[in-house]
Every structure is written in C-alpha cells, then in structure tokens.
Amino acid sequence: MASIRAAYLPFGFTSIALLLGVTCLSFALAAVRSELLLRGALLLWAGLFWLSVMLCSLADAHCRIREYLRIRDLLQAYGFRPRLYQERSRSRCQRDAVMQAARETGFQHEIRDYFAGLGYRWFHILPDTLVINPLTFFNRHFLKSTFLPCKPPPGRTKRRQPERAPRSGTTQTGPKRTNGKGPVGPSRRTLVGSPDMSGSFERMSTP
C-alpha cells in the first residue's frame, strides 16, 4: 500500500488510459465488422494512443516507487536536507513520492513546509518543464529522467566480510593471495608443540 500511495497519480492515469484504450479498440472492432473502415481506423489509432499512454504511466509509476525507496533511505541515513529534494520538487508525482517517504520517516512537516515555501500547491500537477515549454516532452533527457527507473537505493549491497585473524600460536609470513591473482610465495607456519618427556618444548617447523 505504501508503494501505491507513493505513485497513486501514475497508477490512476494507467487505469484510465487502459479503460479508454480497451473501449476504443472494442468500438474499432465493431466498426470494422459493420464495414465502417474509416471510423474503425480512427478508433484503432485512438485505442493504440491510449495504450501507449498507459505504458508511459506505468513506467512513471515504477520510477516513482524506486525514487520513494531511495528517498526513504536518504531520510533515514541523513535526515532532512533541503538540497537533496530541490530536483525532486518539479513535478507532482515526484513530490508525492517524497511526501510518502517523509511520512514513514517522520519528516512530513519539514517536507510539506519546504514544498509550500517553493510555491507548490495541490493543483500543480504538470512538471515545471512542460509548463514552460510543452515540447520538452520529446527531449531525451526529460524522457530518461521521468520514465526510466533511477538507481537502486543505497546501503543495500552486501557488506564485505572482514578477514579472519590468525589462530593463536600460529604465525604466517610471505606474500598473501589476493583474489586468486598473482604468484603465491612460500609461506612458513611455526607451530608450538606439546612438551616432551624432559619438560622442554619442542619446536616443529613445517614448510
């Protein structure tokens, strides 16, 4: 449910576009059966258009979910830092993802006041770049930043296991093997043996 709330607008557009696309395609099929080819062709193009809108909205929703996870990890790690959210305040979908992450981490009041200070209100839905220049929608950078998923959240990679310390009473000399590369030089281990019959300790060296 948290992921849906982080991208409820893209999911809503996806549902509406899917419904309109299926409706147009069904009417196009009915028009073709009635031998109304021109009407059928127009309805077919309309159906394909709405299906393409559905795919774009679905990609946008997927990207917003990834962004919500990333922002949640950043808030948990560093707290509220305004400079981290300036680039993510230029569209309603991005602001919703940030707000959902802020609700889960306890920074909703700071984020809300920050967006309000920038002048954004609930009815500001379109991205700023599209309001300034609608042709920006066909820009490659805009499409990549909007519809392609961002990098996975930090801190989710497997940690490197620390090297084990040598056993007590054991010393090792010589070069170490690193990642299976490079020659391996001779090594010498000196073990402490058990006391002999005369009470002294016997040292044994093994290559």
Q: What are phi and psi of 18, to 5 degrees?
A: -65, -45
> If you average pLDDT over every residue of the chain, what do you get?
75
Q: Does residue 74 have a pLDDT over 60?
A: yes
Higher pLDDT, 52 or 135: 52
For position 69, what pLDDT does the model report? 92
Residue 25 CA to residue 23 CA, distance in Å, equals: 5
For position 151, what pLDDT does the model report? 52
Q: Does residue 150 have a pLDDT over 90?
A: no
Contact in structure between 22 and 47 (CB atoms under 8 Å): yes
Per 3-state DSSP, the chain is made up of helix, strand and coil in percentages (nearest 5) of: 55, 10, 35
Q: Give the pLDDT confidence of 34-64 residue by residue, as tens digits.
A: 888 899 999 999 999 999 999 988 988 988 8
Reported as a pLDDT band with limits 50, 70 and 90, residue 16 is: very high
Q: Does residue 203 have a pLDDT over 70?
A: no
Q: Does residue 82 have a pLDDT over 70?
A: yes
Mean pLDDT lowest among 67-71, 78-82, 100-104, 175-179: 175-179
Higher pLDDT, 178 or 96: 96
Higher pLDDT, 155 or 35: 35
Contact in structure between 152 and 73 (CB atoms under 8 Å): no
**Boundaries of every domain in the chain:** 2-147
